[in-house]
């Protein structure tokens, strides 16, 4: 096989150590390899960097093993080109697995160009990812605590969740605070209701008649305090994310300098697409998509970034996000085309946006969902809607154009004549004569 990278290295990364195999040109028709083991402390990794530079290494490959690759990436970034590779793509032959052989195998695959690096965004985008992902964790934690609060109310025979939609709303919260202060009279607690909830005062009195003990009061107080703390944390992260996005320059920072490409590897042709948007403008643009709000737009930006030049087509982006069917065919038979497991932050975000979009009665996404759900099922249909949202975001960020909704009647307009004939025949089968006349002013 042809040698693509003459000076390369493969790494087998562990928590305490990293085994490195360097491949450099040797005698004619041979290769010279040297193997060393380093620790994972910062001083050890700096020594590793010095050794790689002294060997003239230009490309390094390592497995994406949890979080263990990140300290090495932090030290080597900007000095050599780093490929973080999916471990499933570079499995060695069973029965020959040692740390040294794994490092040699990774280095040999890299030498012949047989590995493909994962998408690692620039440092500012990685920082934004940390913020948006932690905010998502806090939102999930808050939902978990609210569920625990529901359990305590059920144990105390307080059926507030049957009458009030949100147990953390203004009315429900005032009732819970009164219970903590010793108020147990159902009629007095029901009078704390506000707004439309006052129309349910008789039901509230019945729901608030319970058996609250000191044990329940202790649990309620702690759950409410934890919810307040999480609300403060979420608000702090919201402010920090907004501040971080606004601080970014109009033009994103340049990528770190990379080593020269080896001979025989052609550079990518220059694109005629406009330069990437600023982060603030990209969030505002993504916010125009049906079902996508500001927080969802921020999470989308942190995961895919404003620069779409790193994805050649929308199909590459959908495949990376695992929102496109997989290929599984053998002997002419097509087997399961499951989408697989991808970015565990991006896919749930898009699915939530898809569920919000299908509730908009005048949207194209709603008609797309109901067009597919009848024959493919609700789950496949909602994945198709999420795929459409991601493809739309790709073209919007690439062309700097806002979202244009095709409308709920898009599919009917495409096949208007066929639809008219079908509906006319169905009505005639019921024993009625149909006359089709266009309405005045209708297209």
pLDDT tens track for 341-374: 778 899 999 999 999 999 999 999 999 999 999 9
Looking at 27-36, 57-66, 78-87, 133-142, which range is the least confident one?
A: 27-36
Q: Does 340 score more than 80 pLDDT? A: no
The predicted pLDDT at position 254 comes to: 44
Q: Does 263 score more than 70 pLDDT? A: no
Q: Does 260 score more than 60 pLDDT? A: no
Q: Does 83 score more than 60 pLDDT? A: yes
Please give the full DSSP string across 116-145, using - where no structure is assigned. -------HHHHHHHHHHHHHHHHHHHHHHH
The predicted pLDDT at position 95 comes to: 67
Q: Is 428 exposed, middle or buried (0-12, 13-18, 19+ CB in 10 A)?
A: exposed
Q: Mind listing the pLDDT tens digit for each residue in 5-20?
A: 999 999 999 999 999 9
Q: Does 269 score more than 50 pLDDT? A: no
Q: In 354-377, which positions are buried (b, 16+ CB within 10 angstroms) versus exposed (e)?
A: bebbbeeeebbbbbbbeebbeeee
pLDDT band for 435, please (50, 70, 90 cuts).
confident
CATH topology of domain 8-111: Nucleotidyltransferase; domain 5 (3.30.420)
Query: What percentage of the chain reaches a pLDDT higher than 90?
Result: 66
The predicted pLDDT at position 417 comes to: 87
Q: Where are the domains of the chain?
A: 8-111, 126-247, 279-325+340-399
Q: Does 252 score more than 50 pLDDT? A: no
Query: What percentage of the chain reaches a pLDDT higher than 70?
Result: 93
Sign (positive or negative) of CA dihedral 95, 31, 72, 84: negative
The predicted pLDDT at position 350 comes to: 95
Q: How far is CA 199 from CA 161, 176, 189, 190, 351, in A?
A: 16, 19, 14, 11, 35
Q: Mind listing the pLDDT tens digit for each residue in 133-164?
A: 999 999 999 999 999 999 999 999 999 989 98
The predicted pLDDT at position 239 comes to: 96
pTM of the predicted model, to two decimals? 0.84
Tell me, what DSSP letter sits at residue 7? S
Residues ≥6 apart with Cβ < 8 Å to 131? 237, 240, 241, 244, 302
Residue 125 CA to residue 303 CA, distance in Å, equals 8
Q: Is 301 exposed, middle or buried (0-12, 13-18, 19+ CB in 10 A)?
A: buried
The predicted pLDDT at position 271 comes to: 56
Neighbours of 110 (CB within 10 A): 25
Strands 8-13 and 17-25, sheet pairing: antiparallel
**Structure-model confidence comparison of residues 89 and 353, the more confident one:** 353
Tell me, what DSSP letter sits at residue 200? G
pLDDT band for 265, please (50, 70, 90 cuts).
very low
The continuous run of DSSP H or E covering 370 comes out as: helix 364-376
Contact 302, 280 (CB under 8 A): no
Contact 419, 412 (CB under 8 A): yes
């Amino acid at each position: 096989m042809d040698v693509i990278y003459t000076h390369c290295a493969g790494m087998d990364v562990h928590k305490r150590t990293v085994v490195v195999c360097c491949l450099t040109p040797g005698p004619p028709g041979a290769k010279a390899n040297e193997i060393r083991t380093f620790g994972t402390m910062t001083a050890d990794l700096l020594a590793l960097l010095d050794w790689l530079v002294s060997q003239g290494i230009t490309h390094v490959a390592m497995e994406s093993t949890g979080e263990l690759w990140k300290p090495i990436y932090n030290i080597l970034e900007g000095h050599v080109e780093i490929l973080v590779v999916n471990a499933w793509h570079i499995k060695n032959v069973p029965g020959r697995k040692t740390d040294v052989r794994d490092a040699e195998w990774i280095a040999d695959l890299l030498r012949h160009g047989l590995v493909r690096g994962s998408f690692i965004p620039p440092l500012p985008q990685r920082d934004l990812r940390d913020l948006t992902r932690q905010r998502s964790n806090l939102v999930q934690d808050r939902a978990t605590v609210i569920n625990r609060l529901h359990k305590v109310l059920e144990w105390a025979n307080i059926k507030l969740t049957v009458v009030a939609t949100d147990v953390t709303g203004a009315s429900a919260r005032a009732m819970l605070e009164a219970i903590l202060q010793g108020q147990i009279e159902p009629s007095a607690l029901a009078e704390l209701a506000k707004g439309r909830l006052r129309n349910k005062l008789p039901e509230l009195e019945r729901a608030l008649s319970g058996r609250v003990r000191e044990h329940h009061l202790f649990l309620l107080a702690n759950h409410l305090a934890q919810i307040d703390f999480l609300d403060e944390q979420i608000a702090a992260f919201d402010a920090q994310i907004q501040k971080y996005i606004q601080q970014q320059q109009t033009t994103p920072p340049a990528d770190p300098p990379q080593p020269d490409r080896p001979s025989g590897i052609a550079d990518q042709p220059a694109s005629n697409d406009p330069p990437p948007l600023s982060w603030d403008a990209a969030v505002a643009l993504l916010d125009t998509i049906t079902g996508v709000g500001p927080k969802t737009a921020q999470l989308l930006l942190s995961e895919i970034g404003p620069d779409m030049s790193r994805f050649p087509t929308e199909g590459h982006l959908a495949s990376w996000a695992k929102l496109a069917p997989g290929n599984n065919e053998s002997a002419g038979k097509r087997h399961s085309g499951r989408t697989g497991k991808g970015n565990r932050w991006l896919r749930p975000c898009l699915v939530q946006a898809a569920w919000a979009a299908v509730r908009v009665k005048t949207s194209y996404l709603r008609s797309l969902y109901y067009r597919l759900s009848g024959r493919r099922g609700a789950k496949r249909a909602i994945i198709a809607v999420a795929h459409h949202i991601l493809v739309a975001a790709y073209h919007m960020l690439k062309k700097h154009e806002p979202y244009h909704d095709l409308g709920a009647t898009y599919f009917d307009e495409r096949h208007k004549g066929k639809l008219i004939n079908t509906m006319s025949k169905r009505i005639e089968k019921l024993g009625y004569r149909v006359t089709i006349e266009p309405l005045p002013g209708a297209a």
